[in-house]
Amino acid sequence: MLILVSTRIAENHTYPERRDVLSHDWGHLFDRFGLTPILIPNSLWDTTPYLQLGAKGLLLTGGDSLGSKAAPTERDKAEAQLIQGAIEKGLPILGVCRGLQMLNRYFGGDSIDVTGHVGKHVVKLEDGSRMDVNSFHDQAVTLQGLAKPLRVFAETEDGIVEGVRHESLPIVAIQWHLERSSPSAAYDELLIKKWMKECA
């Protein structure tokens, strides 16, 4: 299955060059689930041509902090275009870590800076059960900053939103990293398969 995939930005420290990169963890996940990625450069003025390549869904990956609303980063701009284009074409969207924050911002929400959300922690799911997840982020969405069309299905005890669904569009996002080794692997597999079914 062909999918559009956003990439993170990495600085080269030996000579001045900005690079768009993707963790090998994602490559392993793509192989496992039979996904063929179209990697989206962040420096594009227009991502529209990529939306015409027959992809069945959009994956917003993690890494990089969001810029401010007044001064969005290259990646913020590229991903906002991709989200808009995916919605217009009816493509299901899966957001991971930064992807959740970006979707929340796109729909009018806000993020805050946080500390201590590195490593394993517990999230409470909408059915009342609890699950350990991995976590590596210094920005987060709270209930107060949640965009109106998003519905929470996972959150931490201290009020950090960890999983959202759009109320009417095929959009789901999580704050943890399902591409990495995680205690939530069984749940993550179900989430990916459900998203893929929507994409098919």
Tokens of 75: 């990646």
Cα–Cα dist 184/6, whole Å: 23
* Known active-site residue 177: yes
Answer whether 163's CB lies under 8 Å from 121's CB. no
* Known active-site residue 28: no
Q: Which residues neighbour 112 within 8 Å (Cβ) at sequence distance 6 or greater? A: 139, 140, 141, 142, 145
Cα–Cα dist 147/181, whole Å: 29
Answer whether 102's CB lies under 8 Å from 128's CB. no
Task: Name the active-site residue from 79, 155, 162, 179.
Answer: 179
Closest CA to 150 of 164, 139, 160, 170: 164
Cα–Cα dist 125/105, whole Å: 22
* Known active-site residue 199: no
Cα–Cα dist 123/72, whole Å: 30
Task: Name the active-site residue from 97, 137, 155, 199.
Answer: 97
Task: Name the active-site residue from 117, 155, 177, 199.
Answer: 177
For the annotated catalytic residues, the residue numbers are: 97, 177, 179
